[in-house]
């Protein structure tokens, strides 16, 4: 079997091949490393690559499969880890010059759970500086380019993971999501990204353990692989008070969700978010293709409250908790967007914080009422087609000026406020030929039902070439006009000493 064919296999196909002894973890790793060597210089999705460690892990897995004794459901499957999550012995830079030499002393819980399942930890994947914003570029590693057009963004903050999946460098990757960081890059790169309810994947590294605005989750190329990975990383940890105990097989056998019984709510703009007309048209096209197959489709009003102001406060609060002291003492060590968020938080009063948490509660209760009449809600994931990565963010959408650098992410961050599950499915291309992602929202702790519905929708959409998952055309892919690794930051200076790594935002 050709190397690229091995790299293109799904994680589920890999494990079946290992069991049948038609392929080995060694074979698969070699194929993935070859794909990384071929395409990463152009895409720049992978940062720290642990070839030696991955080879050791794959060899051990090959021996286990030969002995008929795999240790878990991902034994031998290569995995990439977002460069905001610790892997023992590897650098966790957060895309920041402050942490560019930080070597993690131990695995973060999500990584240790993957190891315990037998996954081969291959590499770290690129992020925006300190995970801030929807454009994956930073002064340590440079920019990650979209594998469908290297001049354009991949989204963020899990942009390296999304691009690595789309280019078959790795079959599975981790991500995290505060305002859309699992969903946005997945949508712009044509893969699947899932933000679970706050109780599903324990996140004991959160700065604010009682705030569920930030969650961890899996990214994959299809729903079956996503569920395979989710089964390995889900579960409770006492250091995350929002996580909840669950059975190990919670996601193993989802009940079938026939589309004919599915009640679908739709919203083009999440209660008034600026959305490009071409994206609205693409969304309407996808809805029209779904309508004949479901029980009902109902337009719903998602004007649930002052969602943008709530997110502003909750996000600023988390940035103050993670970076406030450091920014106050050494502001020049941080990018503008970090300083902006910290400054916003420091200017806010206890009254504003109390209002935001109360308003978030009211938003949840209004959302719960809407969900009594529908099973899922469909929306676009991104309000615009990918734009040049030389632009830090989308500041103008459909003639509307965006007031802060992350406002263009409102289609996803508004969904974060309810604490429930959100997922993006790849559904063909937009009018510009770039991937189009369909966002699904479900009720809080309604993850199983949402995932089952997503799998049924995926099966439907894959039957039509117009809505099937798009794949990059490697034959026509050309290098970016600017070297994606050449970004120079004014804060880089000789003799700079790295700080201790921050807790995850």
How many CB atoms are located within 10 Å of the residue 396 CB?
A: 11
The secondary structure element, H or E, covering residue 355 is helix 350-370
Structural domain includes residue 499: no
Question: One digit per residue, pLDDT tens: the chain, 505 residues?
Answer: 455 899 999 999 999 999 999 999 999 999 999 999 999 999 999 999 999 999 999 999 999 999 999 999 999 999 999 999 999 999 999 999 999 999 999 999 999 999 999 999 999 999 999 999 999 999 999 999 999 999 999 999 999 999 999 999 999 999 999 999 999 999 999 999 999 999 999 999 998 999 999 999 999 999 999 999 999 999 999 999 999 999 999 999 898 999 999 999 999 999 999 999 999 999 999 999 999 999 999 999 999 999 999 999 999 999 999 999 989 888 888 888 888 889 989 999 999 999 999 999 999 999 999 999 999 999 999 999 999 999 999 999 999 999 999 999 999 999 999 999 999 999 999 999 999 999 999 999 999 999 999 999 999 999 999 999 999 999 999 998 888 887 644 343 333 333 444 444 4
The pLDDT of residue 6 is 97
The pLDDT of residue 500 is 46
What are residue 270's phi and psi, to 5 degrees?
50, 50
Please state the domain count of the chain: 1
**Tokens at 416, concatenated:** 């974060």
The pLDDT of residue 482 is 82
The pLDDT of residue 491 is 41
Structural domain includes residue 108: yes
Structural domain includes residue 445: yes
Structural domain includes residue 487: no
The pLDDT of residue 3 is 58
Least Cα distance to 389 among 268, 481, 477 occurs for: 481
How many CB atoms are located within 10 Å of the residue 52 CB?
A: 8
Q: What is the chain's Cα-based Rg?
A: 21
The string of pLDDT tens digits covering residues 282-310 is 999 999 999 999 999 999 999 999 999 99
The predicted model scores a pTM of 0.95
Within 13 A of 182's CA, how many CA atoms are on the CB side?
A: 33
CATH number at residue 51: 3.90.1300.10
Residues spanned by the domain of 279: 3-461
* Residue pair 477/42 in contact by the 8 Å Cβ criterion: yes
Structural domain includes residue 160: yes
Structural domain includes residue 198: yes
Report the C-alpha gap between 200 and 229 in whole angstroms.
13
Structural domain includes residue 485: no
The string of pLDDT tens digits covering residues 383-394 is 999 999 999 999
The pLDDT of residue 469 is 98
Q: At what angle do helices 51-66 and 11-20 cross, to 10 degrees?
A: 50
Adjacent-strand bridge partners of 91: 103
The pLDDT of residue 495 is 34
Report the C-alpha gap between 377 and 400 in whole angstroms.
25
The pLDDT of residue 465 is 97
> The dihedral of CA 426, 277, 415, 294: what is its sign?
negative
Report the C-alpha gap between 46 and 36 in whole angstroms.
8
- Please state the separation of Cα 30 from the chain's center in Å: 26
Structural domain includes residue 144: yes
Residues 6+ apart with CB under 8 A from 65: 18, 19, 21, 24, 25, 75, 76
Report the C-alpha gap between 420 and 170 in whole angstroms.
28
How many CB atoms are located within 10 Å of the residue 26 CB?
A: 17
């Amino acid at each position: 079997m050709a190397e690229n064919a091995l790299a293109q296999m799904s994680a589920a196909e890999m494990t079946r091949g290992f069991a049948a002894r038609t392929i080995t973890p060694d074979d698969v790793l070699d194929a993935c490393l070859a794909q990384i060597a071929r395409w990463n210089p152009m895409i720049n999705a992978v940062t720290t690559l642990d070839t030696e460690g991955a080879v050791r892990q794959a060899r051990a897995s090959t021996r286990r499969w030969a002995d008929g004794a795999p240790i878990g459901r991902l034994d031998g499957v290569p995995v990439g880890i977002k460069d905001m999550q610790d892997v023992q012995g590897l650098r966790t830079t957060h895309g920041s010059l402050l942490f560019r030499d930080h070597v993690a002393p131990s695995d973060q819980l999500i990584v240790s759970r993957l190891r315990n399942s037998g996954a081969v930890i291959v590499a770290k994947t690129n992020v925006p500086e300190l995970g801030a914003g929807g454009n994956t570029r930073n002064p340590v590693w440079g920019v990650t380019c979209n594998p469908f057009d290297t001049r354009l963004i991949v989204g963020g903050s899990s942009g390296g993971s999304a691009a690595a999946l789309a280019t078959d460098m790795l079959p599975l990757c981790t991500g995290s999501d505060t305002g859309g960081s699992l969903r946005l890059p997945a949508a712009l790169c044509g893969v699947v990204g899932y933000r679970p309810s706050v109780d599903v994947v324990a996140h004991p590294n959160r700065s604010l353990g009682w705030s569920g605005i930030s969650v961890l989750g899996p990214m994959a190329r299809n729903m079956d692989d996503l569920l395979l990975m989710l089964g390995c990383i889900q579960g409770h940890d006492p250091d995350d008070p929002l996580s909840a105990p669950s059975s190990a097989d919670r996601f193993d056998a989802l009940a079938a969700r026939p589309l004919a019984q599915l009640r679908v709510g739709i919203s083009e703009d999440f209660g008034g978010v600026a959305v490009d007309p071409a994206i609205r048209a693409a969304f309407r096209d996808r809805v029209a293709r779904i309508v004949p197959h479901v029980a009902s489709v109902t337009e719903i009003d998602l004007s649930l409250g002052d969602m943008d102001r709530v997110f502003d406060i909750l996000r600023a609060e988390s940035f103050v908790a993670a970076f406030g002291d450091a920014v106050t003492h050494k502001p020049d060590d941080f990018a503008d967007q970090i300083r902006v968020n910290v400054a916003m938080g420091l200017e806010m009063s206890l009254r504003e914080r109390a209002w935001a948490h109360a308003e978030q509660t009211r938003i949840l209760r209004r959302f719960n009422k809407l969900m009594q009449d529908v099973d899922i809600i469909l929306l676009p994931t991104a309000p615009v087609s990918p734009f040049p990565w030389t632009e830090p963010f989308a500041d103008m959408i459909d003639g509307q000026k965006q007031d802060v650098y992350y406002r263009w992410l409102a289609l996803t961050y508004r969904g974060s406020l309810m604490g429930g599950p959100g997922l993006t499915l790849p559904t063909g291309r937009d009018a510009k030929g770039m991937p189009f992602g369909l966002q699904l929202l479900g009720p809080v702790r309604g993850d199983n039902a949402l995932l089952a519905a997503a799998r049924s929708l995926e099966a439907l959409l894959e039957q039509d070439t117009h809505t099937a998952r798009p794949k990059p055309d490697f034959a026509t892919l050309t290098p970016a006009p600017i070297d994606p690794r050449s970004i120079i930051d004014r804060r880089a200076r000789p003799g700079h000493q790295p700080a201790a790594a921050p807790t995850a935002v």
